[in-house]
């Protein structure tokens, strides 16, 4: 394995997780070079105030695979996704129970810092949210500043090219790196957000309906990017689009919240099997468009 330019990034010793500290010694690979990690939810329940919205959800999201979370509106998919990188706790009314393990380590353990979870588990949202006035280049490196990573100019140049290439955007913006991120098309902005997430070299990338605001061509480009990242980063994607789930994911989990009960997983497994031979009739009805 060759060391990437990003291996020279310096991280503050007080904040650096073991994996991040390894980077400073030039041994950690670049995003997409094998740092993908398994994510496991164990008996996760969630509440907004007194309203329980998830009940004891357990799911293993294998390293380097794409796991799609599917299910009707309101069954708790986004809440579950936000629990996976500690965003749920940003809502003062929100609470949760259970464990989320990244490579076997509970991200909610008292000694684990919030910033570690965010550095290792990135998030891409439904609506592309680049910093609109900031250049394409600075958008990619923005995540470094936010996570306290310092890097020299050459390192940043190489990192920007690396991440934009991984996000499938480099050829389209290589001559426009100083233009504002807000000047890109919606699909390009979403891929810029993916590049920004990759700049801190996450082990997991969470995506909450990343194509729902995009046209079909841009959707196809983002799907190609997801497939390109698979094997290198663990991807967990929420989608309402069954064709998209079938196209991009290796595994699927079908969430459902029936008649005022909290959401849970009805069935999960390899995507091919979930679509061709679902074990539960409710899954069959959903994937075949009979409800939801």
What are the helix (H) ranges across 205-258? 216-229, 242-248
- Asked whether position 53 contacts ligand ATP by CB under 6 A, the answer is yes
**SS percent in the chain: helix, strand, coil, step 5:** 35, 25, 40
- Asked whether position 67 contacts ligand ATP by CB under 6 A, the answer is no
Sequence-distant (≥ 6) Cβ neighbours of residue 216 within 8 angstroms: none
**Sole window of 23-31, 71-79, 127-135, 274-282 interacting with ligand ATP (rule: CB under 6 A):** 71-79
Among 26, 74, 132, 186, binds ligand ATP (CB under 6 A): 74
Write out the two tokens for 83.
């629990």
Q: What is the dihedral of CA 19, 25, 27, 29, to 10 degrees?
A: 60
Give ∠ CA 201-203-208 in degrees, rounded to 5. Answer: 100
Among 65, 77, 162, 221, binds ligand ATP (CB under 6 A): 77
Q: Least distance from C-beta 202 to ligand ATP, angstroms?
A: 21
**Sole window of 16-24, 74-82, 183-191, 229-237 interacting with ligand ATP (rule: CB under 6 A):** 74-82
Among 91, 179, 217, 281, binds ligand ATP (CB under 6 A): 91
Contact 176, 138 (CB under 8 A): no
# chain residues binding ligand ATP, by CB under 6 A: 11
Four-residue CA torsion sign, 222, 228, 232, 234: positive
Q: Which is nearer to ligand ATP, 142 or 242 (CB)?
A: 242
Count Cβ atoms within 10 A of the Cβ of residue 14 and give its class: 0-12 exposed, 13-18 middle, 19 or more buried: exposed
Q: Least distance from C-beta 73 to ligand ATP, angstroms?
A: 3
Q: Least distance from C-beta 146 to ligand ATP, angstroms?
A: 23
Q: Least distance from C-beta 260 to ligand ATP, angstroms?
A: 10
Q: Least distance from C-beta 49 to ligand ATP, angstroms?
A: 7
Q: Which is nearer to ligand ATP, 29 or 76 (CB)?
A: 76
What are the helix (H) ranges across 76-199? 77-84, 114-120, 136-146, 153-166, 170-173, 186-198
The helix (H) or strand (E) run that includes residue 217 is helix 216-229
- Asked whether position 48 contacts ligand ATP by CB under 6 A, the answer is yes
- Asked whether position 79 contacts ligand ATP by CB under 6 A, the answer is yes
Q: Least distance from C-beta 208 to ligand ATP, angstroms?
A: 8
- Asked whether position 76 contacts ligand ATP by CB under 6 A, the answer is yes
Residue 268: how many other CB atoms lie within 10 Å: 22
Q: Interface with ligand ATP by CB under 6 A: which residues?
A: 48, 53, 71, 73-79, 91
């Amino acid at each position: 394995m060759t060391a990437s330019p990003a291996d020279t990034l310096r991280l503050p010793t007080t904040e650096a997780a073991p994996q991040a500290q390894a980077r400073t010694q030039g041994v950690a690979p670049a995003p997409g070079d094998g740092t993908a990690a398994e994510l496991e939810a164990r008996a996760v329940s969630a509440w907004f105030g007194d309203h329980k919205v998830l009940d004891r959800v357990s799911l293993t999201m294998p390293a380097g695979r794409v796991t799609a979370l599917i299910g009707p509106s309101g069954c708790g998919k986004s809440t579950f996704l936000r629990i996976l990188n500690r965003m749920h706790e940003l809502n003062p009314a929100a609470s949760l129970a259970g464990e989320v393990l990244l490579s076997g380590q509970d991200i909610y353990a008292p000694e684990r810092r919030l910033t570690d979870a965010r550095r290792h588990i990135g998030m891409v949202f439904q609506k592309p949210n680049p910093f609109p006035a900031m250049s394409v280049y600075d958008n990619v490196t923005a995540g470094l500043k936010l996570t306290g990573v310092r890097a020299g100019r050459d390192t940043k140049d190489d990192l920007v090219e690396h991440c934009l290439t991984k996000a499938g955007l480099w050829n389209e913006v290589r001559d426009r790196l100083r233009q504002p991120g807000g000047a890109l098309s919606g699909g390009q902005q979403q891929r810029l957000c993916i590049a920004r997430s990759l700049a801190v070299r996450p082990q997991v990338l969470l995506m909450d309906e990343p194509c729902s605001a995009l046209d079909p061509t841009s959707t196809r480009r983002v799907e190609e990017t997801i497939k390109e990242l698979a094997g290198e980063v663990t991807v967990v994607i929420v989608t309402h689009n069954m064709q998209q789930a079938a196209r991009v994911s290796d595994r699927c989990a079908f969430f459902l919240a029936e008649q005022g009960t909290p959401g849970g997983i009805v069935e999960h497994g390899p995507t091919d099997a979930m679509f061709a031979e679902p074990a539960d009739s409710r899954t069959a009805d959903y994937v075949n468009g009979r409800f939801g």
